């Protein structure tokens, strides 16, 4: 039958989009169910065997009783005081992905605790030997009650009283172990503190001595107060330097102005001032004054050449020279001091020379004051630079002393706490509920049988998968269609034994199988409407796929339609057409090609319109016969004499035969059969067909099982009538059905759709 291309295309698009469609899921499930159906017997055997073994084991199960008790865990023990007691009674974990209760459960199930329980209860195994801890754990269950700090403890034993005693003893032993553990920790802490206290006390004294020595060496009383005073003193000195500097600048300006007027420095001014106090100088100055007065009077009376005027000028010059000599000796050579600066009138010295000396003295005094202020400023700055280092060092020493002091105080407090905690007898867990003696037991048979059902189903499915993995054959029609990318032109079902190896189309022309072969020829014709193939090669992947039977039935079906058909058995290696038709094989294709025998003498006619050419007896080199020019001439002549030529050739593994004959045909019809062909053979067949370069007309799936055939033939429960309707519907969709000449009676022109092809109304 023709495949449903639209559904295949939809599945392909869904697969390409990356999202599995509902159809693909249904197909996968159906394929899996087909595999289960194919392997149901070994799967059922494995399932029943597993279930039987489980049932036998369940009969051996002994009834056991489970006793249950409960422990409440606390964050802190009742008697814990301070940090040491808190650590002794607190549930803590190291890893982030663990809980304190999980850790305590591990302690509860530890070997020391379990061994104490075994010894107290004198637990033994089946051989009377002391019970091992690992065997004890198999019967013990300790788990957290959801959402609480309660841990449930249960134990299974054939004796209910022993079960309850074991649980109660286990909880008591655990609590005693925790109390001992809590007491041991503070005791160890107390011993450690006693050893550390003298060392820490020595560190405190050393730190205090270092602070005292450091402050004494660096004259430190209070660094904070000193820092604040230092800042204030620096501000005051800076202000005094500014004021005194301004006064100094003013005084320097005045003295510079007077020095410019006098032309003397401070030393010369002092000497000139001392010179003016000499009597000799004053006498010369007085004489000069009198001489100038007399000279002024004489000049009013006489001329400059008068002896009196000349005498006075000589006297003046003599006195002036005496004064200059005194100045040169006492003040300095070349120094010019005016007479006015040397005069001392009325015993006072209020002149510019004395004022200049006074300014210079004041200037020197101010300079000394500014220098002293600068020195004080530098001392303060130097101290300010050292203060941060001193402060840092002082803080470091203070921190060390404080740290040592705190450590000492902490150790003293912890020593007291450890002493109290070591005498405490509280743990971090209390018994909430002791285990009572259970009155109902459980053998576990239901659970074991349930596990047997699950395991049986799993092993049954696993056996199906393993068997399918070992079986490399393509077992279903669905796998065939997926494996071969060729259009399906027909599907034949597996015939009953009475019809196998027979030409059903000839013997039972009205049977359902005959209709299937007629449908195949109709599909072949409509696949190539423009130029239907006239010479068709029929082959398969491997032997035993029924290609020869399909070829014979197809030839018979076409001849029943009134078309002249030549069936050539070109399988010279393993010919079978003469067996199917019940004729002898003394002469055949080999005699025509090799011995030039006339075709009319060897071709038989088992049915009207059907000519059969057997292979003949071939003893060696069959490829030379098929590849000869006479073979090509024979096929060429037969094209003109027959409407259709079907050539039965060997399977594709004999690639040379198929490749040789494929050059003479118009197309290849591929026959395959589920359960016969394997994946490797299918891949080789596809490669061989691609090598021929010939057009693949389609694929016939032969020997499909009845149940699978019905699913692909529109649910065959409707029988032959439904199949005919499907064929009719298939032909109506073909567009090249109208106004063609009938292939049987050329006189008719109007065509009518028939079940077996396109014929006119007179040939139906």
* 8 A C-beta contact, residue 75 and residue 90: yes
User: What is the DSSP annotation of 165-219?
Assistant: HHHHHHHHHHHHHHHHHHHHHHHHHHHHHHHHHHHHHHHHHHHHHHHHHHHHHTT
Whole-number mean pLDDT of the chain? 78
User: pLDDT digits over 182-197, tens only?
Assistant: 767 776 777 788 888 8
User: pLDDT digits over 213-271, tens only?
Assistant: 887 887 777 777 777 888 888 888 888 888 888 888 888 888 888 877 777 787 777 87
- Does the pLDDT at position 422 exceed 90? no
Distance set, CA 723 to CA 5, 364, 682, 755 (Å): 19, 141, 30, 10
The pair of structure tokens assigned to 361 is 């003295």
Q: What is the pLDDT of residue 471?
A: 62
Q: Is 149 helix (H, G, I), strand (E, B) or coil?
A: coil
3-state DSSP of 9-39? HHHHHHHHCCCCCHHHHHHHHHHHHHHHHHC
- For residue 359, the Cα-to-chain-centroid distance in whole angstroms is 93
User: pLDDT digits over 69-116, tens only?
Assistant: 999 987 654 344 444 444 444 555 544 455 678 888 888 889 999 999
Q: What is the pLDDT of residue 405?
A: 85
User: Which of the four pLDDT bands, split at 50, 70 and 90, describes residue 535?
Assistant: very high
Q: What is the pLDDT of residue 234?
A: 84
User: Which of the four pLDDT bands, split at 50, 70 and 90, describes residue 670?
Assistant: very high
- Does the pLDDT at position 612 exceed 90? yes
Question: Who's near 422: CB < 8 A, 6+ residues apart?
Answer: 183, 186, 187, 190
What is the average per-residue pLDDT within 165-186?
A: 84
Residue 462: how many CB atoms within 10 A of its CB? 12
User: pLDDT digits over 622-638, tens only?
Assistant: 999 999 999 999 999 99
Q: Rounded to two decimals, what is the model's pTM?
A: 0.43
- Does the pLDDT at position 417 exceed 80? no
User: pLDDT digits over 385-405, tens only?
Assistant: 877 888 788 888 888 888 888
Interstrand relation of 64-73 and 565-569 (parallel, antiparallel or unpaired):
unpaired
User: Which of the four pLDDT bands, split at 50, 70 and 90, describes residue 588?
Assistant: very high
Element (H, E) at 667: strand 667-672
Interstrand relation of 565-569 and 644-648 (parallel, antiparallel or unpaired):
parallel
* 8 A C-beta contact, residue 555 and residue 563: no
Place of tokens 């743990």: 427
User: By percentage, how much of the chain surpasses pLDDT 90?
Assistant: 22
Higher pLDDT pick, 14 / 581: 581
Burial of 137 (0-12, 13-18, 19+ CB in 10 A): middle
* 8 A C-beta contact, residue 426 and residue 163: no
Distance set, CA 387 to CA 210, 220, 392, 397, 761 (Å): 18, 10, 8, 15, 129
User: pLDDT digits over 443-498, tens only?
Assistant: 666 777 888 889 888 888 888 788 767 666 777 788 888 889 899 898 888 877 76
Q: What is the pLDDT of residue 530?
A: 67
Q: What is residue 716's DSSP assignment?
A: G
User: Which of the four pLDDT bands, split at 50, 70 and 90, describes residue 30?
Assistant: low
Phi, psi of 338 (to 5 degrees): -70, 155
Q: What is the pLDDT of residue 347?
A: 46
Residues of the chain by 3-state class (helix, strand, coil), percent to 5: 60, 10, 30
Q: What is the pLDDT of residue 58?
A: 72
For residue 193, give the nearest of 317, 56, 336, 83 by alpha carbon. 83
Q: What is the pLDDT of residue 757?
A: 39
Phi, psi of 156 (to 5 degrees): -105, 140
What is the average per-residue pLDDT within 725-754?
A: 37
User: pLDDT digits over 673-702, tens only?
Assistant: 988 888 888 888 898 888 888 889 999 999
Give the total residue count for the chain: 764
Structural domains of the chain, ranges and CATH numbers in brackets: 25-58+450-470 (no CATH), 64-198+425-442 (3.30.1890), 229-375 (no CATH), 477-724 (3.40.50.300), 734-764 (no CATH)
User: pLDDT digits over 451-466, tens only?
Assistant: 888 988 888 888 878 8
What is the average per-residue pLDDT within 579-607?
A: 93
For residue 644, give the nearest of 668, 610, 671, 616 by alpha carbon. 610
Q: What is the pLDDT of residue 370?
A: 87
The pair of structure tokens assigned to 431 is 């018994």
User: What is the DSSP annotation of 621-656?
Assistant: -HHHHHTSHHHHHHHHHHHHH-SEEEEE---TTSHH
What is the average per-residue pLDDT within 300-326?
A: 84
Phi, psi of 16 (to 5 degrees): -70, -30
User: Which of the four pLDDT bands, split at 50, 70 and 90, describes residue 528?
Assistant: low
């Amino acid at each position: 039958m023709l495949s449903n291309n639209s559904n295949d295309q939809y599945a392909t698009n869904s697969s390409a989009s990356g999202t599995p469609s509902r159809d693909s899921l249904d197909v996968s499930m159906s394929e899996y169910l087909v595999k289960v159906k194919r392997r149901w017997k070994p799967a059922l055997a494995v399932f029943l065997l597993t279930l039987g073994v489980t049932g036998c084991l369940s009969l051996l199960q002994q009834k056991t009783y489970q006793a249950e008790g409960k422990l409440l865990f606390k964050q802190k023990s009742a008697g814990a005081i301070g940090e040491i007691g808190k650590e002794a009674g607190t549930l803590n974990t190291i890893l982030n992905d663990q809980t304190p209760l999980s850790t305590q459960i591990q302690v509860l199930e530890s070997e020391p605790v379990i061994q104490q329980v075994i010894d107290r209860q004198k637990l033994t195994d089946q051989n009377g030997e002391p019970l091992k801890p690992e065997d004890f754990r198999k019967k013990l269950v300790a788990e957290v009650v959801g959402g609480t700090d309660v841990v449930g403890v249960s134990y299974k034993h054939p004796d209910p009283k022993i079960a309850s005693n074991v649980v109660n003893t286990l909880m008591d032993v655990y609590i005693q172990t925790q109390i001992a553990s809590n007491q041991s920790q503070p005791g160890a802490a107390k011993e450690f503190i006693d050893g550390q206290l003298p060392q820490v006390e020595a560190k405190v004294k050393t730190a205090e001595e270092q602070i005292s020595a450091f402050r004494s060496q660096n004259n430190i009383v209070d660094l904070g107060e000193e820092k604040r005073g230092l800042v204030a003193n620096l501000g005051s000195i800076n202000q005094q330097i500014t004021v005194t500097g301004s006064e100094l600048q003013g005084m320097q300006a005045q003295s510079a102005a007077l020095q410019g007027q006098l032309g003397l420095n401070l030393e010369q001014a002092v000497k000139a001032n001392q010179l003016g106090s000499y009597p000799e100088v004053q006498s010369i100055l007085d004489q000069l004054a009198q001489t100038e007065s007399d000279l002024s009077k004489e000049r009013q009376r006489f001329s400059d050449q008068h002896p009196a005027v000349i005498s006075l000028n000589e006297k003046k010059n003599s006195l002036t020279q005496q004064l200059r000599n005194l100045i040169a000796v006492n003040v300095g050579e070349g120094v010019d001091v005016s007479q006015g600066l040397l005069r001392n009138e009325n015993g006072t010295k209020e002149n510019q020379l004395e004022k200049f000396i006074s300014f210079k003295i004041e200037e020197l005094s101010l300079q000394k004051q500014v220098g002293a202020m600068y020195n004080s400023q530098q001392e303060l700055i130097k101290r300010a630079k050292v203060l941060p280092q001193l402060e840092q060092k002082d803080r470091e020493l203070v921190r060390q002393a404080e740290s040592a002091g705190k450590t000492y105080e902490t150790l003293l407090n912890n020593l007291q706490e450890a002493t109290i905690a070591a005498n405490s007898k509280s743990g971090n867990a209390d018994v909430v509920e002791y285990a009572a003696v259970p009155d109902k037991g459980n053998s576990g048979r239901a659970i074991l049988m349930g596990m047997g059902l699950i395991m049986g189903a799993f092993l049954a499915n696993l056996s199906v998968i393993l068997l399918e993995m070992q079986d490399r054959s393509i077992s279903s029609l669905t796998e065939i269609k997926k494996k071969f990318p060729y259009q399906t032109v027909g599907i034949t079902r597996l015939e009953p034994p009475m019809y196998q190896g027979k030409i059903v189309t000839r013997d039972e022309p009205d049977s359902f199988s005959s209709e299937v072969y007629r449908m195949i020829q109709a599909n072949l014709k409509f696949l190539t409407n423009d130029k239907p193939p006239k010479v068709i090669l029929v082959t398969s992947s491997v032997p035993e796929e029924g290609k020869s039977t399909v070829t014979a039935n197809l030839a018979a079906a076409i001849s029943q339609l009134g078309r002249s058909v030549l069936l050539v058995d070109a399988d010279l290696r393993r010919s079978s057409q003469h067996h199917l038709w019940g004729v002898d094989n003394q002469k055949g294709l080999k005699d025509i090609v090799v011995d030039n025998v006339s075709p009319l003498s060897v071709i038989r006619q088992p049915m009207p319109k059907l000519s059969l050419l057997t292979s003949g007896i071939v003893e060696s080199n069959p490829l030379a016969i098929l590849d000869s020019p006479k073979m090509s001439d024979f096929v060429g002549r037969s094209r003109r004499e027959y409407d259709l030529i079907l050539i039965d050739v060997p399977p594709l593994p004999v690639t040379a035969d198929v490749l040789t004959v494929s050059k003479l045909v118009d197309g290849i019809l591929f026959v395959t059969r589920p359960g016969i062909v394997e994946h490797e053979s299918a891949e080789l067949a596809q490669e061989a067909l691609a090598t021929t370069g010939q057009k693949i007309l389609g694929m016939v799936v032969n020997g499909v099982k009845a149940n699978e055939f019905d699913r692909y033939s529109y649910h065959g429960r409707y029988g032959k009538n439904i199949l005919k309707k499907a064929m009719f519907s298939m032909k109506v969709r073909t567009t090249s059905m109208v106004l063609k000449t009938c292939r049987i009676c050329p006189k008719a022109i109007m065509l009518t759709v028939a079940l077996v092809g396109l014929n006119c109304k007179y040939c139906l």
